[in-house]
C-alpha cells in the first residue's frame, strides 16, 4: 500500500497528468496527487466465502485486494472507498473484511443495511470504517425506495450519508424526498442518466438544484454505465460531468468503479483512462486535486 503522502493537503502535491496523447492505453498512466482517493470500488470472492444474495442478478469473477493494489500502484492512489456490491445484498462481510485488511488509514466503506439492523451492529460497522448506506435502485438492489427516508434517519446519528444510484430521469419525482433527508446525499456515476440528457434537461436541472442545496455530492465516474457515445471521450456524459464540476467543485468525487462489473471492453476497463477523463472534465490543477484529495477526505473522514 502506498504511503498517505500529502494527505488531505494534497493540493500542493503533483497533479494527475499523462505523458503523450490522452485516451490511449499504451501511453503512460496518469499520475494522481498525494492522498488521492478512489471513492467507488467493489470486492468479490467465491460463493464459498461469501454467498450471493437472493436479490442478486449476477456475481462477477473474484476481484481481491491483491488485484486492486495493482491499480493503486499504477495510478498512485492512496485511499479507497469500498462500496457494498448488489451481489451480496445486506451481507457486508466481503466489504468490511476488505476494509479491515486495507486498514483504517486508507479505507472506508459504504454498506447496505435494512430495518432489521440493530444499534450495536451500526456501531460495529461505523467503528470498522462504514460511512454511508447504499441504495442501488436498479435491478439487483436490496433496498426499496420506501425505506430510504427511514434508513437515512436511522444512520444519520452515526455520521453516515446516503449513497444513491438510480436512473437520473427519476430524480425530479424523487426530489422532494431527497431534499428532506437529514444528512448528506451522494449520487453515483454523473447521475447515471439513461439515456443521457442535455444540460438543460429538467432531470439534470434537478440534479443541479440538489447540489445547490449544499448537501449533495456527485461521483464523476463510470460514464460507460449510461453513455451512448461510448469511449474514449463519452461526449454525451462528459458534457454533464464538466457542468457538474463547474457548478460545485467542492462536492465532486472521482472513482474508477473497479473492477467494472459487467463490462467486457478493455478500453472501458482501463482505469488509467478513467483518471485521464478527469483532465477533460475539470479546468485546472487545483480543482482536480480538490476532487481527488480534499473532497473525499472531508466526506469520508480520512
Q: Which of 257, 265, 289, 295 is catalytic?
A: 257
Grid coordinates representing 282? Answer: 475539470
φ and ψ at residue 109, rounded to 5 degrees = -135, 150
Which residues in 43-197 belong to E strands, given as ranges?
79-83, 107-111, 130-136, 161-165, 185-187
- The answer to whether the Cα torsion of 281, 209, 156, 42 is positive or negative is negative
> Which neighbouring-strand residues pair with 162?
133, 185
141: nearest Cα among 166, 162, 116, 161: 166
Planar angle of CA 90, 109, 267, nearest 5 degrees:
95
d(CA 122, CA 245): 33
Grid coordinates representing 279? Answer: 483532465
Answer yes or no: 92 catalytic. Answer: no
Grid coordinates representing 115? Answer: 430495518
> Which neighbouring-strand residues pair with 165?
136
> Which neighbouring-strand residues pair with 107?
80
The answer to whether 131 and 108 are in contact (CB under 8 A) is yes
Residues tagged active-site: 257
Amino acid at each position: 500500500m502506498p504511503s498517505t503522502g500529502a494527505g488531505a493537503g494534497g493540493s500542493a502535491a503533483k497533479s494527475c497528468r499523462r505523458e503523450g496523447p490522452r485516451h490511449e492505453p499504451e501511453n503512460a498512466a496518469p499520475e494522481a496527487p498525494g492522498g488521492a482517493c478512489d471513492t467507488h470500488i467493489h470486492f468479490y470472492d467465491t460463493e464459498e466465502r461469501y454467498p450471493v444474495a437472493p436479490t442478486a442478478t449476477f456475481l462477477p469473477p473474484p476481484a481481491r485486494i491483491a488485484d486492486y493494489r495493482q491499480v493503486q500502484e499504477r495510478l498512485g492512489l492512496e485511499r479507497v472507498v469500498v462500496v457494498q456490491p448488489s451481489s451480496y445484498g445486506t451481507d457486508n462481510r466481503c466489504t468490511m473484511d476488505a476494509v479491515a485488511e486495507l486498514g483504517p488509514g486508507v479505507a472506508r466503506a459504504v454498506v447496505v443495511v435494512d430495518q432489521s439492523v440493530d444499534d450495536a451492529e451500526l456501531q460495529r460497522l461505523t467503528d470498522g470504517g462504514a460511512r454511508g448506506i447504499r441504495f442501488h435502485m436498479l435491478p439487483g438492489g436490496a433496498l426499496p425506495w420506501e425505506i430510504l427516508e427511514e434508513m437515512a434517519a436511522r444512520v444519520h446519528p452515526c455520521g453516515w450519508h446516503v449513497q444513491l444510484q438510480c436512473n437520473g430521469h427519476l430524480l425530479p419525482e424523487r426530489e422532494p424526498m431527497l431534499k428532506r433527508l437529514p444528512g448528506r446525499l451522494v449520487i453515483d456515476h454523473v447521475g447515471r442518466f439513461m439515456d443521457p440528457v442535455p444540460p438543460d434537461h429538467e432531470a439534470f436541472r434537478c440534479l443541479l438544484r440538489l447540489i445547490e442545496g449544499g448537501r449533495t455530492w456527485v461521483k464523476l465516474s463510470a460514464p460507460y454505465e449510461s453513455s451512448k457515445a461510448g469511449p474514449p471521450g463519452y461526449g454525451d456524459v462528459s458534457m454533464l460531468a464538466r457542468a457538474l464540476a463547474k457548478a460545485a467543485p467542492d462536492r465532486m468525487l472521482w472513482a474508477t468503479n473497479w473492477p467494472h462489473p459487467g463490462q467486457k471492453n478493455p478500453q472501458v476497463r482501463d482505469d488509467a483512462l478513467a483518471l485521464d477523463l478527469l483532465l477533460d472534465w475539470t479546468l485546472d490543477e487545483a480543482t482536480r486535486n480538490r476532487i481527488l484529495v480534499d473532497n473525499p477526505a472531508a466526506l469520508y473522514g480520512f
